[in-house]
Amino acid sequence: MLGYIIRRIIQAIIVILGVSLIVFLLSQLIPGGQARAALGPKATPLQIAHFNRLNGYNQPLWVQYWHYILSIIKGDLGYSYKNNQGVTALILNRLPKTLVLVGSSTILALIIAIPLGMAQAVRRNQAFDYVMTGVSFFLYAIPAFLIGELLIIWFSFDLNWFPSQPPTSASPWAIITDPRAFVLPVFSLAALTIAAFSRYMRSSVLDTLGEDYIRTAKAKGASPRRVLYGHAFRNALLPILTLIGLSLPAIVGGALIVETVFNYPGMGLLTVQAAANDDVPLVLGTTLVATAATVLGSLLADVLYAAADPRIRLGGD
Amino acid sequence: MQPLEGNVVPDEAILPEHEADHDAGEAVAEAGFLRNMVRVFGENKLAVASLIFLVFMVLFCFVGPHIYVTNQTNAQDALLNSTQNSPPSWSHPLGTDENGFDILGRLMYGGQIALIVGFAAAVVATVIGVTYGALSGFFGGWLDSLFMRFVDIGLSIPVLFLLIALVTIYRPTAPLLIIVIAAVSWLVPARLIRAETLSLRTREYVQAVRVMGGSRRRIIGRHIIPNSVGTIVVFATFDVADSILLLAALGFLGLGVPAPQTDWGTMLSNGVNYASNGYWWEIYPVGLCIILVVVALNYIGDALRDALEVRLQRR
Amino acid sequence: MKGSIRRLLVSGVTVGALAAGTLAVLPAATAGAASSSAVATWAEAPQTPPNYIFPFMGLQYFSVSNINNFQFLMYRPLYWFGNGSTPNLNPSLSLANNPTYSNGSKTVTINLKNYKWSNGEKLTSQNVMFWMNMLHAQKDNWADYSQGIGIPDDLKSITVNSPTKLTFQLSAPVNANWFTYNELSQITPMPNAWDKTSDAGAAGSGGCSAAAYGMANTQCTAVYTYLSKASGFDPANPKGANNSLTTYATNPLWQVVDGPFHLTKFDASGNVTMAPNKSYSGPIKPTVSQFVEVPFTSDSSEFNALVGNKLSVGYLPSANVTTGTTNAYKAGPNNSRLSGNYNLAPLYTWSINYFPYNFQSTGNGGTAGKIFSQLYFRQAFQTLVDQPLYIQKIDKGYGIPTYGPVPVYPSNSYASSTEKSNPYPYNTGKAKSLLSSHGWKVVPGGSSYCENPGTSKNQCGKGIPKGTKLSFNLEYATGGTALAQQMNAEKSSWAQAGINVTLSGATFNTVLGNAVPCTAGQSCNWELENWGGGWVFAPDYYPTGEAIFQTGAGSNSGSYSDVKNDANIVATTQKSVPLTTYENYLAQQLPVVYQPNPATSLTEIKKNVKGVTPQSPLYSINPENWRF
């Protein structure tokens, strides 16, 4: 078990380093380099040279990369000229908001998807199942940004029940000042994950219901309800943890889109804006943090699964 | 959670009784397999309806423009001669967009790109993933560990972030988009096929071929991959749907095909700009196209998977 | 400075007043001039919050949102430009009387007015010298420095004649307009209270302001470092993270102002609150109780705020212009969701819109640059750009065509009649005949090719072999639908004469990064690059061409080089000649592809607000004029 965790942590570090290298190399391909992106159209060659010298952009690539890695270890993710702030400070400001968005929508999705999946499994191949499958497919097929935009059109423009943008403020907890602004983004993000989770829950419960120990329980006279909730539910739940871990990259990506649609001031929106501005240190920083969060999140999910399932724990790896 | 590792094939490999069928050669198995799948598929009415719908969409996008001819490329002409953003009317059944292009015609035109990129990306992803996974599973050992490490790493990267960094530097064209979308999709089939390969590798007939001196390429090409066809096809179907959605997302972020070409995602992204003006005809028709095509593909994939499960259960 | 995609650099330069939100009506709260307790809210352009407060900065912080919409409200420049709706020098808002030129335009005399700083200091020549000394010491870190041209390189000496009089001695004669509008315009006097090198230091202890001109480089560098760090930039460690933004409102340094406002609240997201400066010495004192700048991440969020009646002054995003106008100078009907509460006032700024040809391009098989060098080709190319159509359909009527290097609107005294009368109106027939009379076989809708190569008058031209096709790549900046639409339309238009232009999109910065003058020895295959913004004449308010069209100029992206043009430009900066010869020549010679110039902002002004219009064409906002 410990070996497994250590291996996964090493793997996580490799992933993060790899991603940082890729984005770093990509950023070198921007024509004109960092100087043009920061100084803008009026820059004379003299000013560009001065800027490059000042910022060390005239050093060899591997030197720059090495300095970058060193500063990451110290917690300094660089500096964004466009915002005149440190990247770390910017991310620390936005990350909690994204975590709140991703967390709430995942929880909401689970609350809806788990009972839904179970109900579908129990009523397999009946009308309810078909209808819910259809709805699932439909939700899954809607592009993330379309759900967001439609919700805005219906509930914000037409009905005016919810605002379409959250309040802009520097404080990470500003979102709490207007909880109504939170509703539409969370629902948009949850809608996609509900579809995937409920399908998975459905097949997971079906598989479990077919297992030997379920038949044994039934033979022993346990009531269907006890069978369902006592045995099937608990055992079918375990893979959900892994599923969450595996879905994290998709959810984080979905958050990026939802944040763009709703102008929700989180990490995703920050990344999109940074990319549009060719603000390389910021893009590097947000991509790294997103990767780290995803990797660690799925690591956590796997560890929890391994800890919960005695078969895995005792079986070793 | 326990991957099969190591080269050792357990001597007591349990072979279900009907394995004897497969010893006779793969040709018989294949014919029976196909017939079975088609039958199970045919019983699923939704899947059949979806297939018909897809065929209709393909005709709509590729044959449609020859029947319903509109100007989709000459922006100067459109600006001069048609009204921008006009609601549905007799001359323009679905209205016009901000350039004055007819939207119904544009749906066909954009659909070509969406379908081509979607299918091509899925094909490329499948080919790469299957080869990678088959090789990895077949050779096993440290190679397998290494290959799968790469896949695990790839699966844990938040793709959209990387895509944004990549595509803002390289101007997106349709071929580049195919490559980019395939590059993020090939990981899943690699994993699937690797698992299939591992289980197939232990079958007696594979052992037999090896003993008889068959080359690795022959084993992989003639035995392992054909027997995984079911899994491959199911995955590919779902991947077309996912690719279309990913292309739409990229189009929304402004990273889709360059003008004057267009795809559904870009059309949708332009349309939502005007959402607050109430130009609904620039949003709902396009959205519906994307949704219905993806739903259809999902129903087909689901039915294929059911057919595959049936076959597996019979094994 | 060059223009940019509206969304990125341009702010909604609008003047307005009123807020819907918090309006506490206090009884009898008047002190001196009639003041009200109203809070004025103004919309920042999306994603451009102010982020630099120290008025001596490098190019990376040199933006409209930092300077015109933020610093200028607190720290007045020596000379103010923008008088009513003209770009002219504004004597009433300047800190000095109009400069006088003597000694064959080699001596400039500046007489300061009677202004006070908010900490009791008087505005003196020493404040001006402070900035000039810092420029001398740190010109490499000054945004508008051009080697060999203008200040400080053309300054021989500066003499302080009295606390209110300075004399500049120049090394060579200059054109008075050019020097006032483009060089003196850069100066922002700084208070003595800033002349120190640590928080505890006494005012003036830095030794930079009192020194003779150019004699205190070390001291000025130290002061520059201290002040820059307080503003968030550390010259010794430019990539070091810093959090100075959060200290802007609390640092006593920045509270010393000579403008109508001072900062009371500031955060890193762009929420800015200012209160009136009671000791402002200018002609019109502010009457609002607070001036608030509100940040937005996108056009749609700003539009929603307008619909919700939450702003005094905002702008109408182009996607929400439903009706448009037939007369660019007058506002058409407002968006129906806003017309109840807001009036529409279009703002055109002092700029021209164009994109460059790369005259050194090796594209199209090495012929692109050579083809561009042929005047007849440029004429054909320009003749196919139907500016009035694009203004009417894409900009909904809110746009001004560009016919030459000097803007024809806002009204000014420099635009010549030649320019205003459009030397190259849209004419497909003329374009085709220009090509065919110079040895090209015109294939409408296909690819025209050269069938009569050679250098005589009716042949293709030097370096263009037989069979060369008219096929070019045009990269434009993505992010705005209007530009994409226009590029598409122009592409179809050029195709009518068989000129095949392949479009591709890239980010604004990528396009800028590609549109650089070719250097010898490096391959240079970009052909046409369009960042969508052309050139904004600020702070070089006098529209001479030394930065964009002179041979070898830093922003002469396409390496345009013409001897006659160079001579014209030199004359406009050094002799007292008007711009007419220069601009007529370039209107005829087409050094770049002129493009329609859309309105910078469709300002929405709350109905009960006065003093907002006329809007300054130089991006500045004057909330001290707002009345309600």
Q: What is the residue-wise DSSP string for C99-166?
A: PEEETTTTEEEEEB---B-TTSPBP-HHHHHHHHHHHHH-GGG-TT-BTTBSTTTTEEEEEEEETTEE
Q: Say yes or no for a CB contact (<8 Å) between C533 and A41.
A: yes
* Alpha-carbon span C155 to C170, nearest angstrom: 5
Which residue on chain A is closest to B148 by alpha carbon? Answer: A11
Q: Which residues pair with C40 in a beta bridge?
A: C291
Q: CA A275, A279, A285, A289: dihedral to nearest 10 degrees?
A: -20
C145 touches chain A (CB under 8 A): yes
Please indicate if any CB of chain C lies within 8 Å of the CB of A47.
Answer: yes
For residue C19, count CB atoms less than 10 angstroms from its CB and return exposed for 0-12, middle for 13-18, buried for 19 or more.
buried
Q: C94: which DSSP letter?
A: S
C304 CB neighbour count, 10 Å cutoff: 20
SS3 B17: coil
Residue B284 DSSP code = H
pLDDT at A250: 75
Contacts C538 to A, Cβ<8 Å? none
Q: Does B91 touch chain C (CB under 8 A)?
A: no
Q: Is B197 left (phi over 0), alpha (psi -120 to 50) or beta?
A: alpha
Q: Which amino acid is at C212?
A: A
Among A65-79, A114-128, B111-125, whose mean pLDDT is lowest?
A114-128
* pLDDT for residue C153: 93
User: Of A117, A207, C167, A275, which is closest to residue B313 (Cα–Cα)?
Assistant: A207
Closest Cα of chain A to B212: distance in Å?
Answer: 34
User: What do you get for the CA distance between the two ends of chain C, in Å?
Assistant: 34
Q: Specify the pLDDT at position C429.
A: 95
For the beta carbon of residue C589, count every other beta carbon within 10 angstroms.
19
| Amino acid sitting at position A50 | H
At A173 the pLDDT is 64
- Rounded to 5°, the CA angle A82-A86-A88 comes to 125
Of B169, B170, B245, the CB nearest to A143: B245
**Residues paired with residue C100 on neighbouring β-strands, in sequence order:** C109
Confidence tier at B310 by pLDDT (50, 70, 90): low
Q: Dump pLDDT digits (tens) for B243-286.
A: 998 888 888 877 778 777 888 988 888 888 887 788 889 999 99
Largest CA distance in chain A: 86
Asked if residue A234 and residue A286 are part of one domain, the reply reads yes
Mutate to test the interface with C, among B73, B74, B76 (most CBs of C within 10 A): B76
Residue B277 and residue C322: Cβ atoms within 8 Å? yes
Query: Do A14 and A42 share a domain, yes or no?
Result: yes
Residue B225: per-residue pLDDT: 67
**Pick from B8-12, B307-311, C116-120, C288-292: least confident:** B8-12
Which residues in chain A (18-57) have CB-CB distances under 8 A to chain B? 18-19, 22-23, 26-27, 29-30
**Secondary structure (H, E, C), B56-91:** HHHHHHHCHHHHCCCCCCCHHHHHHHCCCCCCCCCC
Whether A107 and A162 share a structural domain: yes
- Which chain C residues are closer than 8 Å to B99 by Cβ? 485, 488-489
C37, C26 in Cβ contact below 8 A? yes
Residues of C in contact with B267 (CB under 8 A): none
Return the structure tokens found at A305.
């699964």
pLDDT-derived band at A17, boundaries 50, 70, 90? confident
Beta strands C471-477 and C528-530 are parallel
Give the minimum alpha-carbon distance from A211 to chain B in angstroms, rounded to a whole number.
Answer: 15
Encoded amino acid at B177, one letter: L
Name the residue with higher pLDDT: C212 or A226.
C212
Looking at beta carbons, which residues of chain A come within 8 Å of C592? none
C-alpha–C-alpha distance, residues C131 and C349, integer Å: 28
Among A86, A103, A135, residue at a domain's last position:
A86
Give, as one character, the DSSP assignment of residue B96. B
Instruction: Measure the CA–CA gap between C83 and C88, rounded to whole angstroms.
Output: 5
Kindly report the three-state secondary structure assignment for every residue of A50-99. HHHHHHCCCCCHHHHHHHHHHHHHCCCCCEECCCCEEHHHHHHHHHHHHH
Whole-number mean pLDDT of chain B? 78
Tally of domains within chain A: 2
Same-domain check for residues A111 and A57: no
Q: How many other C-beta atoms lie within 10 A of the C-beta of residue B215? A: 11
Q: In sequence order, what are the beta bridge partners of C450?
A: C440
Task: Catalogue the E-assigned strands of C523-572.
Answer: 528-530, 535-536
CATH of the domain at A279: 1.10.3720.10
- In a 3-state reduction of DSSP, which class is residue C167? strand
* Predicted pLDDT of residue C500: 93
Beta-carbon count within 10 A of C20 CB: 15
Q: What is the pLDDT of residue C341?
A: 93
Buried b (16+ CB within 10 A) or exposed e, C254-281: bbbbbbbbbbeebbbbbbbbbebbeebb
Note whether A124 and A67 are same-domain residues. Answer: no
For residue C337, the distance in angstroms to the closest alpha carbon of chain B comes to: 9
pLDDT band at B138 (very low <50, low <70, confident <90, very high): confident
CA atoms within 13 A on the CB side of A23: 32
Give the pLDDT band of residue B204 (cuts 50, 70, 90).
low
| Nearest CA-CA distance, residue B124 and chain A, Å | 21
Residue closest to C348 by CA, chosen among C397, C388, C404, C294: C397
Closest by Cα among B65, B3, B9, B35 to B314: B35
Domains along chain C?
A: 59-262 (3.90.76.10), 351-598 (3.10.105.10)
- Give the model's pLDDT for residue C607: 93
Look at residue B170 in the predicted model and tell me its pLDDT: 64
| pLDDT value of position C33 | 46
Domain that holds residue A93: 88-316
Q: In this predicted complex, what is the ipTM?
A: 0.77
In the predicted structure, residue B171 carries a pLDDT above the cut 70: no
Say yes or no: A200 contacts chain C, CB-CB below 8 A.
no
B158-195 per-residue burial string, b: 16 or more CB within 10 A, e: under 16: bbbbbbbbbbbbebbebeebbebbbbbbbbbbbbbbbb
Q: Which of A45, A70, A86 is the last residue of a domain?
A: A86
CA nearest neighbour of C7 among C554, C565, C532, C555: C532
Q: What is the pLDDT of residue C28?
A: 34
Q: Are residues A113 and A260 in the same domain?
A: yes
For residues A174 and A285, membership in a common domain is answered with yes
Q: If you compute the radius of gyration of chain A from its CA atoms, what whole number of angstroms results?
A: 24
Rounded to the nearest 10°, the torsion over CA B219, B221, B227, B229 is 160
Query: Does B17 have pLDDT greater than 60?
Result: no
Distance, CA of C170 to CA of A140 (rounded, Å): 71
Q: Which CATH architecture has domain B67-79+96-313?
A: Orthogonal Bundle (1.10)
Low-confidence residues in chain C, pLDDT < 50:
1-33
Identify the pLDDT of residue B119: 94
Counting Cα atoms < 13 Å in the Cβ hemisphere of A66 gives 5
Q: At residue A307, does pLDDT exceed 90?
A: no
Q: What does the alpha-carbon distance between residue C344 and residue C556 come to, in Å, rounded to a whole number?
A: 36
DSSP B10: P
pLDDT tens track for A147-196: 888 888 888 777 777 776 666 665 656 656 677 778 888 888 888 788 77
Residue A141, CB half-sphere, CA atoms under 13 Å: how many?
23
Mean pLDDT value across residues A123-140: 82
Q: Is the pLDDT of residue B16 over 60?
A: no
Which residues in chain B (252-311) have CB-CB distances under 8 A to chain C?
254, 258-260, 270, 273-274, 276-277
pLDDT band at A308 (very low <50, low <70, confident <90, very high): low
Report residue A144's pLDDT band, with 50, 70 and 90 as the boundaries. confident
Interface probe for B, chosen from C318, C335, C386, C485 (most Cβ of B below 10 Å), is C485
What local confidence, expressed as pLDDT, does residue B229 receive?
Answer: 78
Q: Are residues A236 and A283 in the same domain?
A: yes
pLDDT of residue A233 exceeding 50: yes
Counted across chains A and C, CB pairs separated by less than 8 A come out at: 160
| Higher pLDDT, residue A33 or C270 | C270
